[in-house]
Amino acid sequence: MKVNGKHMLFDNFNEFKEWLLKTKFNRTIKVIQQHNTAEPSYNDFKGNNHFDLILGMERFHIHDREFEMIAQNITTFPDGKLSVNRPFDRSPAGIKGCNIYGICIENLGNFDKNKDSMTDIQKKLIVELTGLLCIKFKINVNTKGITYHHWWSEDGNLIYDKGDYKSCPGSNFFGGNSVENAKNIFYPLVNKWIKDYQHPVTPKNELEIAIEHLIKTKDIRSPEYWLENSKPNHIIKGSNMGQLFINISNKNNIKNAINYISTKVKLDKLFWIDKCMNNKDIDGSDACWLILQLYKIV
């Protein structure tokens, strides 16, 4: 994180997430405002002038708009960086009629049609940022919790798609700036991110993938047995491994099955014939190796 005055620039979303989740705020926040800067646009972004652009916006807001300070609480950039600007405990100067309980996100760029094409990393950041704010402040993903500047009139009334005071956050912001666009495109992306964040799926390891594949392609019962025991210092019964050989090879006995499979992979036939035919214990590490080989040939 880099600091310039009151402005904090985070190198990535994870750095911001760590800061946000450990920071306590005193103001009640109920609604997330989505904006685009329009000016500055992508043409003004040079990859290393984040603070110059922030300070330029701040000067404009103070001297031209006569705000007390920069309007937005957060700014996102095309390279996936983001900054905290107006303190979260201060209401933004983003949308008349929606500031008291609002938090204002300015997404750098002009996202009207035929203007800036949003980078994938900024698009991902906006979804992640919005989802995290919803979690932090217990905000619902709907038109009451996430609003577009375009939906508000100049005098501060919520009119949704009935006016054209502002196109902000852009007529091509995640497909468009209408309520329908938000409901069909932006909100589902935010909801999916929240679901994945709150209920992460543990990536499958190579053994799990192999066993899952063998289950789908052959008659292999009790996948839990194979997952649990096909590990170092665990035990697989020879008869169970023998049946696995038979199922995979479609041969009618263990010897024929092992002979067949040995033509596909480098296999110590005598070792496996002895273990399987005599129902001897097989170390889980050996079983794991064999399952991974079978996965490659089935």
Q: pLDDT per residue over 97-149, tens digit each? A: 999 999 999 999 999 999 999 999 999 999 999 999 999 999 999 999 999 99
Residues 51 and 133 in one domain: yes
Asked if 282 contacts 275 with a C-beta cutoff of 8 angstroms, the reply is: yes
- Domain containing residue 221: 206-297
Residues 53 and 113 in one domain: yes
Tens of pLDDT, residues 17-43: 999 999 999 999 999 999 999 999 999
Report the distance separating Cα 49 and Cα 109, nearest Å: 14
Highest mean pLDDT among 90-94, 196-200, 267-271: 90-94
Residues 30 and 101 in one domain: yes
Residues 21 and 138 in one domain: yes
Reading the block at residue 237, the tokens are 């019964």
Q: Which residue has the tokens 């392609």?
A: 217
Residues 249 and 112 in one domain: no
Tens of pLDDT, residues 188-237: 999 999 999 998 766 778 888 998 888 888 878 788 899 889 888 899 99
Domain boundary among 160, 179, 198: 198
CA angle at 76 for the pair 75 and 81, rounded to the nearest 5°: 115
Residues 79 and 33 in one domain: yes
Q: What is the mean pLDDT of the chain?
A: 94
Residues 6 and 83 in one domain: yes
Asked if 104 contacts 86 with a C-beta cutoff of 8 angstroms, the reply is: yes
> Percent of the chain having pLDDT more than 90?
76
Residues 210 and 96 in one domain: no
> What is the sign of the dihedral through the CA atoms of 274, 280, 286 and 290?
positive
Residues 225 and 177 in one domain: no
Domain boundary among 198, 229, 260: 198
Provide the pLDDT confidence category of residue 165 given band limits of 50, 70 and 90. confident
| Averaged pLDDT for residues 145-174 | 95
Domain boundary among 198, 219, 240: 198
Q: How many CB atoms lie within 10 A of CB 162?
A: 9
Residues 34 and 91 in one domain: yes
pLDDT exceeds cutoff 80 at 286: yes
Residues 80 and 102 in one domain: yes
Among residues 81, 69, 73, the alpha carbon closest in space to that of 124 is found at 81
What torsion, rounded to 10 degrees, do the Cα atoms 270, 274, 280, 286 define?
A: 20
Residues 179 and 276 in one domain: no
Question: How many domains does the chain contain in total?
Answer: 2
| Averaged pLDDT for residues 247-268 | 90
